[in-house]
Amino acid sequence: MKIAVIGGGSWATAIVKILTEKNDYVGWWMRNEENVLYIKRFHNNPHYLSSVELMTEKIDISTDLDHIAEEADCLIFAVPSAFLKDVLSQLKIPLHDKVIFSAIKGIVPDENLIVGEFFNEKYQVPLEQIGVITGPCHAEEVALERLSYLTVASINTQNAALVGEKLSNDYIKTNISDDIYGTEYAAVLKNIYALVAGICHGLGYGDNFQAVLVSNAIREMKRFIKAVHPIKRDISDSAYLGDLLVTAYSQFSRNRMFGNMIGKGYTIRSAMLEMNMIAEGYYAASLIREVRKAHDIKMPIAHAAYKILYKKRNPRKVIARLAEKMD
């Protein structure tokens, strides 16, 4: 199985690094031609995880999406969900014969679909050829080669095992799952909850409150995932609870960082400009609301995020009311 990564950010760079540890061919598409030339010459990504020395002799890197897609059997998409449709608009070859794995932790705007559903409905990729790669794992710790764990999910567990083997090395351990809907929705939701955790930190709430917030968040996540895809699963597994914990607490979490700025009084625009990175939880807070309403799910934490980010409600007042509902 020849694998290619689509995306030029920190998570895409981390996945490329992981894959080159034990694979002789890794395709890599990114948008910016200057970055491609820089990486070929200096062997590192100038804008993301710049300390990582990449084994460019193993990497086929290009801005030609058709070339990269044509060469690969499996495509791992690691672009922000807000830009996925724009990236795919450049593609001329069909995808129905490819294995598609999403490392995107967001919902496709305008479509209100998780990424796997989007590829299935809009690009006719069969569900058994679709998979998800989730954490708990931050790109920055991959760069430092700190022991990390990935969950690789697909209803075709043979594909999940193949991709999992490609991603496994001394510092990356992989778990295999068949829960593509649950793991992907969990990856979306944990960004919303991490954003709220950041807002609370910015407002001055302490660790005691954060523990209660996260314990309520995992129960909220369980209610949501059970409603949209009711199969037997253990929400305490690392793909769900573990990914939530690392995103809510880690210094590397961009969603927590974004929320912290909002809590300290930044406007949404100023926080985005200062971070210069996408906080998927911002977009997810709006899009997940539509799914929540369709299934009539009680989600006070996600709703609090929506009110702060989109209704411009006072964060201190919203969180104070939220705190009264938690136990």
Q: Which of 213, 206, 208, 222 is nearest to 245 (CA)?
A: 213
Tell me the Ramachandran region of residue 256: left when phi exceeds 0, alpha when psi lies from -120 to 50, beta otherwise: alpha
Q: Which of 17, 166, 190, 307 is catalytic?
A: 190
Which residues does 290 contact at the CB level (< 8 Å), separation at least 6?
112
Phi, psi values for residue 6, rounded to 5°: -110, 110
Query: Which residues face 134 on adjacent strands?
Result: 151
- Grouping H, G, I as helix, E, B as strand and the rest as coil, residue 274 is helix
Q: Which of 214, 198, 219, 185 is nearest to 288 (CA)?
A: 185
Distance from C-alpha of 152 to C-alpha of 135, rounded to nearest angstrom: 9
3 CB neighbour count, 10 Å cutoff: 23
Strands of the chain (E only): list them.
Answer: 3-6, 26-29, 59-62, 74-77, 99-102, 107-108, 113-114, 130-134, 148-154, 172-177
| HSE-up (13 A, CA, CB side) for residue 290 | 12
In contact, 101 and 132? CB cutoff 8 Å: yes
17 labelled catalytic: no
Distance from C-alpha of 282 to C-alpha of 259, rounded to nearest angstrom: 9
Catalytic residues: 190
